[in-house]
Structure 1
Amino acid sequence: MTSPLAGQHAFVTGGASGIGRATAQTLTRAGAKVTIAGRNVACLEAAAQELGVHSQQVDVTEETSVQQAFEAARAVNGPISILVNNAGQASSAPALKTDLALWRQMLDVNLTGTWLCTRAALPDLLAGGGRIVNVASTAGLVGYAYVSAYVAAKHGVIGLTRALALELATKNVTVNAVCPGYTETELLADAVQNIMQKTGRSEAEAKAELAKSNPQKRLIQPQEVADTVLWLCRPGAASITGQAIAIAGGEVMTG
């Protein structure tokens, strides 16, 4: 069977763990040459060895770091044809305790990082066509309390996705976002620990609390998100662009 992504170079930020790792593995199995990128060199190298992919250190909030990472990745795997902007952080705080440092951190990592990596990949994508998939969140579609900075950043990612999709519509480049609900990753584990510490609930009770917003009453699995990313990268999704696809078990996005 022909590999649907054979010969394509996929650059996946935040690719050492969670959704990014599942995505890197899924794209590799589909035939892509994959670069995983992130800040933690040890985690990247371990993941790269296990997955059989290239790893590249990057700080997505720093323009020079991003430019250097993309140049190094091109030297190994060639021009970028798929960009998965997955790197992100989530921190919670009431509005009055959301100081400027936290606000900037949420926007820098989640929104500015997405923009810097997109801009770095665009010359290749415009020359040869390709896909951009931004890993946003249901928080990019509705509002949630106590995470105002994160919600603002993810709404920004959705807006950027829609604007770029229109700008690139005739350039053989699609731009989409996937919006998972609470997903069982290392990032979620931190939220679970926070609930346990503040409320005295067990781990199972804390996870159930997070899963309540999902009508299926469960947490999303990273592979479910990765499979959606793969679909958007396949040739048959060439007309799918400017979309924000919720992966949330039927949670109503009415925000």
Structure 2
Amino acid sequence: MSGLGQPLEGRHALVTGGGRGIGAAIAKALLEKGAKLTLLGRSEATLADTADALASWGDVHYVTADVADPGSIAQAFSQATMKHGEVSILVNNAGQASSAPFLKTDNELWNQMLSVNLNGTFHCTQAALPGMLRAGWGRVVNVASTAGLTGYAYVSAYCAAKHGVIGLTRALALELATKGITVNAVCPGYTDTDIVKETIANIVSKTGRSADAAQAELTAGNPQKRLVTPEEVAATVAWLCLPQSAAMNGQAIAVAGGEVM
């Protein structure tokens, strides 16, 4: 449980996509280090369940919003600030992944991948940054993907969006380098989340292979031959948020068992 002397005591952390998977694991890791927490997501029921589950670890609040909608984000950040004060730690974790061959990637799929994965990061960072600048301290951590560092077939829209997140991370890190604010990205490989379970189910339905064979295909590129755990991603995010991590800036850290070096 959080308590006195914790490194993030008094800091308000907001985690997008915080209701499940990597986001929920990040939320718990930040609570354990003393942060006050706001979960942001689209499903109130999911957020409420996660907030209840995390309540014993610290002060948890939630707000509903669609990260692709700047008006929705502005309202949610206003609510979060009224509850916990200005956001000093922002984790842009909300994301979606859809696959299609390039010539079957229509405008709707392309725009959806950019709207959630890239534009959502932009909108949330713009909402949090003024408060960080006033405080002279802040941490922005963008949960990207190894797809932001290398290419994968059949996910061109997703790769383009995540490469955009890495570019935004690096540019903003330089812009804010003397302001007491760091901006970094964490790039998980295939992680044991609902998104990957959906990917495995999609492979099974399209190819007739077993779930074990589909998972083996996904993990083949990981030298450790396994899925990353949400807790491993969360530990890296929490470390980047520490006061002692102030020299970490503009980095894109792969959490992928050595898949990308």
Instruction: Report the TM-score when normalising by structure 1.
Output: 0.98
State whether structure 2 residue 58 is matched by structure 1 residue 21. Answer: no
Matched, 1:148 2:156: yes
SS state at 1:46 partner = helix
Q: Is the 8 A contact 2:254 2:260 kept in 1?
A: no
What do the CA deviations read for 1:41-99 (whole angstroms, capped 9, x no partner)? 11111111111211100110111100000000001111100000000000000011100
| Matched residue count | 253
Q: Any idea what SS the aligned residue of 1:75 has?
A: helix
CA RMSD of aligned residues (A): 0.8
| Counterpart for residue 15 of structure 2 | 12
CA distance in 2, matches of 1:60, 1:235: 27
Partner residue of 1:85 out of 89, 92, 95: 92
List, as ranges, runs of 4+ consecutive aligned residues in structure 1 with deviation greater than 4 Å. Answer: none
Quote the Cα distance in structure 1 between the aligned partners of 2:168 and 2:31.
27
Show the counterpart of 1:139.
147
1:227-242 aligned at under 5 Å gives the runs 227-242=235-250
Residue 33 (structure 2) aligns with: 30
What letter corresponds to residue 216 of structure 2 in structure 1?
Answer: A
TM-superposed CA distance for 1:127, in Å, is 1.2
Identity of aligned residues (%): 63
Aligned to 2:231: 223
CA distance in 2, matches of 1:106, 1:251: 23
Deviations, residues 199-241 of structure 1 (Å, cap 9, x unaligned): 2222221111110110110000000000000100111100100
- Other structure's SS at 1:245 match: strand
- Give the deviation of 1:252 after TM superposition: 3.0
Q: Is the 8 A contact 2:146 2:260 kept in 1?
A: no
* Residue identity opposite 1:4 in structure 2: P
Superposition pairs of residues 49-198 of structure 1, within 5 angstroms: 49-52=52-55, 53-128=60-135, 129-198=137-206
Amino acid at match of 1:19: I
CA distance in 1, matches of 2:244, 2:216: 37
Secondary structure of 2:91 counterpart: strand
**Contact 2:16/2:94 (8 A) holds in 1:** yes
Secondary structure at the aligned position of 1:56 is classed as: strand
Unaligned runs of 5+ in 1: none
Answer whether contact 2:13 2:89 (CA < 8 A) is retained: yes
Matched residue SS, 2:139: strand
Taking structure 2 as the reference length, what is the TM-score of the superposition? Answer: 0.96
Quote the offset at 1:24 in angstroms: 0.3
- Counterpart secondary structure, 1:19: helix
